[in-house]
Structure 1
């Protein structure tokens, strides 16, 4: 069965899907961590793979950038391909001083400036939250793997280059850990489709200190985070 954005057959996707933004990261995860990965989608260059880990089926597919893009792909996966869990595995810019490059964040809430949130339920400011079961499983998996993880709210912004110091300061004052561009939309789709979602993020930049990972550091820590995501995705 095909949708406007995914060309796959029924059963091509596992019930649990990891979702990085970058198609090349989807390929990296599949080739490095899955057993016998096979390509199941490449429409518009958005790569999707399905394989197994420990005999359990698992998939990975890119989301592209921003709330509109992840909304399209998550909706189609949940609604038409039998997917019940999506874990976004992405990168973020740290906002809190205590965060260090390489730290992993589990987003317990996702604030947003996206108008998509306001359009979903007119007159209501939605609370964008993950699946508690997935969040708990990720926290437990990180502890077992000795991966440093912070749990807290993040900010899903529609803007990458716009500078808004007052907005950033207010978010920091209210405990926001980091900024990225997709999680609020993913959480909203999961709620609408009565499915599960979680975001795990690796801190690759620090907005306050101007620190930034090298491409090699990004790749290495991304795989570490993905192993935690896989454990959560395959949990009962």
Structure 2
């Protein structure tokens, strides 16, 4: 029986679709919402749960941080037969989005090192699956939210390109944020462009839904209470969309 090299799972372990998350603790929290959850053995820190939502079998898997491992997980799951993926998490957002908004990827600009391996040159734009992106927006609206759909940008170096913690990082990140604002970018993260590029290359349906937690221009962060309540809503919206 074929098993994924890094994740260690076989096709029978997984659902018909998958939600990819960064934080492994989110797998526990989403798993608690599922019917008949089965937590799979953890290999290389990759935590996965499979259960049912709306009567459909779905897997939630954590990749940690960054495009390379997120794409490895997607590619392995695709090799085992999954063709529909939603990446969820938090993201830095730009106006007109506001803190606590739900941000749906229409496309993404890849400034990461993984996208070129899947046929999308650095700095080029790759589209999300339009039907899945539309379903995410519909699910968010049905949940009482006002989603924003638009362009993501993906970077590898968090403390240089996204959020500075020293003088050099602050200068570089400030330039990036001004440039992305001028290009009409909605959100910045570390995975979306690579996942969309891999999805395009492998003929998969892939889109991202993020919860806006950091204002890209002011660097103001969402409070802990809003983050907790928004995260649970994020889970529901993604589960509803991917099991539709």
Provide TM-score, normalisation by structure 2. 0.89
Root-mean-square deviation over aligned CA pairs: 1.8
Gaps of 5+ in 2: 161-168
Q: What residue is the counterpart of 1:42 in the other structure? A: 42
Q: Structure 1 residue aligned with 2:178, among 169, 180, 187?
A: 169
SS at match of 1:43: coil
1:48 and 1:59 in contact (8 A); partners too: yes
The structural deviation recorded for 1:122 is 7.9
Q: Structure 2 residue aligned with 1:203, among 209, 212, 228?
A: 212
The verdict on how the C-alpha distance between 1:63 and 1:122 changes in structure 2, with shifts beyond 3 A counting, is closer
2:9 matches 1:8: yes
1:13 and 1:82 in contact (8 A); partners too: no
2:177 and 2:217 in contact (8 A); partners too: no
Return the alpha-carbon distance in structure 2 between the equivalents of residues 195 and 109 of structure 1: 15
Aligned ranges 1:106-145 → 2 under 5 Å: 106-121=104-119, 126-145=124-143
Q: What residue is the counterpart of 1:193 in the other structure? A: 202
Q: What residue is the counterpart of 2:70 in the other structure? A: 70
Return the alpha-carbon distance in structure 2 between the equivalents of residues 121 and 19 of structure 1: 22
- Deviation per CA, 1:69-117: give whole Å up to 9, x if none: 11111100001x2111110011001122x32211000011111211322
Count of matched residue pairs: 232
Return the alpha-carbon distance in structure 1 between the equivalents of residues 21 and 113 of structure 2: 23
2:99 matches 1:101: yes
The structural deviation recorded for 1:192 is 1.4
- Deviation per CA, 1:151-182: give whole Å up to 9, x if none: 00011111111132223212101110121100
2:58 matches 1:58: yes
Return the alpha-carbon distance in structure 2 between the equivalents of residues 206 and 78 of structure 1: 34
2:150 and 2:186 in contact (8 A); partners too: yes
SS at match of 1:106: strand
Q: What residue is the counterpart of 1:153 in the other structure? A: 151
